[in-house]
Structure 1
């Protein structure tokens, strides 16, 4: 059996490491290098690039229902969705998620009868749904219901003991726990448009209804009820709590920025796979109401436009590293091998090893060694 001296083993590891390519940061995400829109259409607003089917300006620049507005009066400009109450922050057209991230300012305002509206241009027959968010209620002995027409989208109830003034809510949330119904509550939005076809109103919003059920209405109203629609992790943030619980001044609506995730599909207006997914190397997925397009494995970009799915260069340092040996890119794929004179697993760091030959000299750090088969 061949034995390698300790010093020779160190030399082998150093030589192998020198042949490898430095890895990228672990967990780095890949986004399309070129976000593309329709020809001769403006696709930038401030520092945000707008990919088709979204668009601004003339109707030819977007699929119906995906129109956006760039507000140049702010610095930097704001990209707005719908009626302008929702600010767009991010798009995702990746193969693992299709959403648009927006910001809504302030809680949902209700009148003396406890009635309010979640607007923002979210038409019930349009491309967006709000199912990736939560209904959050802060208040005493009150129930909040979110609905569209007679369809209940979400609901939860919050109870309080007399005189506690929600003090335990602050301590509970600051410990990282979710609202459980004592002083505040939260509930998933259970909304599947495919299950309620024909039952939704043709409005541009969702209705909110508050109903108080405590015996002491004046005590329950001592602390105002707040209703929010936001991402699941938003309400646990300490700055939000500080703003809601302040007593020195009214709550500032501008200080409460609510992040929402809007899922979307291309719907209506003759939408079919053939006219929605326009790029080669793309797949068309039938959704709950419309269609979603995905670039094939080995490609990235915008599948909704002609030639929008581009080959991924897996050998490029900008791509999450999958090859630590000699990498050769090809259309939609790549070849990964250990460097000549080594063997092992080139897809793992430090996993290509030198093929030592008995009697051959190996040099490193000005010192030369011989590999000997001591079993002979």
Structure 2
């Protein structure tokens, strides 16, 4: 389903609250009702000063317009630890699937396993099986990491297993497994179990099906066009097709700070 918003919406977007818990929530994301965000995929709920991306139920850490990415907190799977969560070691999957989803896992993310004889495997991912496993030989062998490829929207879960196979229920020793875009060099799984969450980077696209806002992008240079000559302008856009909709990825020139998706666009300083 494509969400078409009438021209009367967002007449005064500056009236929308754009901060939650000290984190900026720029359009196309928004907090205060559907006049403040592009469509329900971009809705942020401010819960006790903590921003949550409503459709995927994950806490927002940062939203970048310039890079077209956002950081969220995703669950750590753990077992055999003093504060272990999620029972036998499998966390609640990250579901960024669904028609019209603008989100995807970027290739800056890694699947990480920490602990002795620990195997981490990504679940619900098609068509590949991705995993890594640790040993108990040396301290630095108690961490394994493998980079994941960039994916279209789908469900991504992390399964935590004993090195010899099977889940970790009843097996001694603290183990943790998770996705993260951050560098991991701490071999103690107890730390990650105590944190409970790790930062994951999602890429996002702007859904151009919302016709009233395509006009604001007309001032941007199309850098996707074959043979396009790049010249100095306030804004640049690339265009494509993703998850059942046409999209634009735009950013302001360094001399024109602002928001290319906002009706005022990029403004010269």
| Pairwise same-fold verdict (TM > 0.5) | yes
Alignment of 1:51-66 (within 5 A): 51-64=26-39, 65-66=41-42
Aligned partner of 1:263 in structure 2 is 203
Taking structure 1 as reference, are residues 276 and 228 closer, same or farther at Cα in structure 2, changes over 3 Å only? farther
Between the aligned partners of 1:89 and 1:241, the Cα distance in structure 2 is: 24
Alignment of 1:46-195 (within 5 A): 46-64=21-39, 65-72=41-48, 77-82=49-54, 86-94=58-66, 97-104=67-74, 106-107=76-77, 112=88, 115-119=90-94, 122-123=96-97, 125=99, 126-131=101-106, 132-152=108-128, 154-161=130-137, 168-169=138-139, 172=140, 182-193=141-152
2:35 match: secondary structure: helix
Given the alignment of the two structures, is residue 221 of structure 1 paired with residue 184 of structure 2, yes or no?
A: no
Contact 2:175 2:189 (8 Å CA) reproduced: no
The gaps in structure 2 that reach 5 residues or longer are 1-11, 79-84, 221-233
Taking structure 1 as reference, are residues 256 and 142 closer, same or farther at Cα in structure 2, changes over 3 Å only? closer
Alignment of 1:1-376 (within 5 A): 38-64=13-39, 65-72=41-48, 77-82=49-54, 86-94=58-66, 97-104=67-74, 106-107=76-77, 112=88, 115-119=90-94, 122-123=96-97, 125=99, 126-131=101-106, 132-152=108-128, 154-161=130-137, 168-169=138-139, 172=140, 182-193=141-152, 205-214=155-164, 221-233=171-183, 235-236=184-185, 241=188, 243-244=190-191, 251-252=193-194, 255-267=195-207, 269=209, 274=214, 277=217, 281-287=234-240, 289=242, 290-296=247-253, 298-312=255-269
2:179 match: secondary structure: strand
Between the aligned partners of 1:216 and 1:104, the Cα distance in structure 2 is: 23
**Moved segments of 4+, more than 6 Å:** 215-218
Rg larger for: 1
Normalised by the length of structure 2, the TM-score is 0.69
1:310 match: secondary structure: coil
Residues 30-75 of structure 1: CA distance to partner in whole angstroms, max 9, x if unpaired? xxxxxxx824322222323321001012212111211101113xxx
Normalised by the length of structure 1, the TM-score is 0.51
Alignment size in residue pairs: 232
| CA-based RMSD | 3.7
Aligned partner of 2:81 in structure 1 is none
